[in-house]
Amino acid sequence: MSGRKEIRMKINEIIRQRRKALGLTQEQIAQRLGVSAPAVNKWESGVSYPDITLLPPLARLLKIDLNTLLSFKEELTEAEIADLVRELTQVIQTGQVEAALLYAREQAEEYPSCLPLLYALASVLKSCSMLLSEHSEEADALIRQWLEQCAQGEDGQVRDGAIGFLFLDALKQEQFEEARQLLNRLPQPPMIDKQQLQVNLYLRSKETEKALEMMERRLIKTANDLSMQLGTLANLTIKDQPETAQRYLQLCRWIGEQLDLMPYNLAYADWTAATDRQDSEAALAALEAMFQALKTPWIASHSALYPHIQDQNDMSTFGALLSQSLLKALQQDETMQFLRQSPRYEQVLHKLHEITESHIEK
């Protein structure tokens, strides 16, 4: 998180995003304010700014206050956003869904133009809905509103993530045309590998440490992508081609071991294989490893392969939600019945409860 400057939204971005969110055209904005459409276009492109006398009616038209229009409120750093997300997760853990929704809405109202915050709030609430099987029409509407706002933003990572969520929702609801349109909005992979060019630049300019860090991060991403692809292939073939699926899972585990990926990835591959075989002992052992991995931050630099990556991947926020979901499935899901017949089931369940409680205490 360190090293990134605070995000401050410009007035042109606010005008463009709010106009699109309200379904207004530049011509409509111009007509209501008594200016020309090219003038509004210049505002949105940052070439010029609205006259000071137009700011109050423009804010009213966009249904925001002047503080928001002019970005008087200081935007949040990534660390501040992480703190707010952590607090939201803690409220969710208590089971107070309405309180969590109220908290998220208050933060969004406090920083309505901070798209990274809106995206983070939407992501957590959506994860809560998926993992804990909670459903609220009000929450769904808020999440969609925030995601649609983020999907119009300039921050590529936030925008593409929001579009991805909206795509999955459209797919789930079998709104295939909307899904296609959303998919078309995502950028194509560039023909030129910018990161590799950056590495070449570092090498020629004798910035070896920076080149090493970038390549180590690329290696982790490539390994994780390959692991995910193998897991998907295993799920697609598990019923009709079980031997092929097992081979995919073996490769997934081998990659994780050889490239020192997060312990959770390895444990999840073992869990998938064990549940497919209905091997209760192996499945329970994999579950213990999964819960332990969720509890412990993964520090890349502890591996000899990634000594230049100094940050750590703390899964506590995601882990708290996932731990509760897994426990609920263990106790209620019909497909987990084979585990409950094991003599070790109650012992493992007690241990998992302890690990989950440690998440909540954090």
DSSP codes joined into one string, 138-202: HHHHHHHHHHHHHTTSS-HHHHHHHHHHHHHHHHHTT-HHHHHHHHHHSPPPPSS-HHHHHHHHH
More confident position, 25 or 77: 25
Residue 316: what pLDDT?
Answer: 61
CA distances to 41, 100, 223, 282 from 131, in Å: 43, 15, 26, 23
- Count of H-run helices and E-run strands, the chain: 19, 2
- DSSP of 45-95: HTSS---GGGHHHHHHHTT--HHHHTT-SPPPPHHHHHHHHHHHHHHHHTT
pLDDT in tens, 79-92: 888 889 888 887 87
Which pLDDT belongs to residue 3? 35
Mean pLDDT of 237-266: 90
Whether residue 5 is predicted with pLDDT greater than 50 in this model: the reply is no
**Residues β-bridged to residue 312:** 299
Task: Give domain 11-69's CATH number out of 3.40.640.10, 1.10.3720.10, 1.10.260.40, 2.40.240.10.
Answer: 1.10.260.40
CATH 1.10.260.40, the chain: domain bounds: 11-69
Phi, psi of 174 (to 5 degrees): 60, 30
pLDDT band at 7 (very low <50, low <70, confident <90, very high): very low
Q: Is the pLDDT of residue 133 over 70?
A: no
**Mean pLDDT calculated for residue range 47-75:** 81
Q: How would DSSP label each residue in 283-329?
A: HHHHHHHHHHHHHSPEEGGGSTT-TT---EE--HHHHHHHHHHHHHH
- Give ranges for CATH 1.25.40 in the chain: 78-185
Other beta carbons within 10 Å of 8: 12
Average pLDDT in the 266-278 region? Answer: 83
Is 1.25.40 the CATH classification of the domain at 78-185? Answer: yes
Please say if the pLDDT value at position 215 is more than 70.
yes
